[in-house]
Amino acid sequence: MANERQFKLKSLLVGTRGVAEYRASIEKYVTSDDCILEIGCEWGTTSELIHKKCKNLMATDISLKCIERARIMRPKIQFEVLDVFDIRTALSFKMAFNKMYIDVSGLSGYRSLLDVIALTDMYASVFPMEAIIVKSGAVKNFAKRCIEWKGILN
């Protein structure tokens, strides 16, 4: 059920289609002052691009194997295991994340749209998120078709 708190969230949800768009968005959204949570980092290809612009990065993945490999390949970046659905562990990092990159297998199709919105709203309600960049063609397409009703005169 909808509640007023949910409607007060101000964080921007940016839908990107494919990994090229996802990574291209770093140029626009990442600054050196940010504190970034990346979810679904695999072995850190995108993490490295984010890290070039922002050192305050926590790159995460559900797979311990990926995280172990990422740590070996990119020792300057902080990598931790995190299941996107386990927000308690995200809170345990004790970082005030203001931007999030999310590329999790299984969450990019149309059927996952509600899951993505619920998940990103959950993160936006506990962290001071300004922008959440998600690799999801479905979110991008949905966003293109939406406008906010502002009344007859607007």
Please state, in angstroms and rounded to a whole number, the distance separating the CA atoms of residues 50 and 153: 42
Closer to ligand SAM by Cβ: residue 13 or 37: 37
Smallest distance, Å, CB 2 to ligand SAM? 25
Residue-by-residue DSSP string for 109-131: SGGGHHHHHHHHHHHHHHS--SE
Smallest distance, Å, CB 74 to ligand SAM? 12
Closer to ligand SAM by Cβ: residue 1 or 82: 82
Closer to ligand SAM by Cβ: residue 6 or 45: 45
Closer to ligand SAM by Cβ: residue 11 or 25: 25
Q: How far is CA 117 from CA 9, 100, 112, in A?
A: 12, 13, 9
- Residues in the site for ligand SAM, rule: CB under 6 A? 19, 39-42, 45-46, 61-63, 66, 82-85, 103-105
For the CA atoms of 53, 58, 64, 67, the dihedral, rounded to the nearest 10 degrees, stands at 20
| Torsion angles phi and psi, residue 2, rounded to 5 | -70, 145
Smallest distance, Å, CB 84 to ligand SAM? 4
Smallest distance, Å, CB 100 to ligand SAM? 12
Report the length, in residues, of the chain: 154
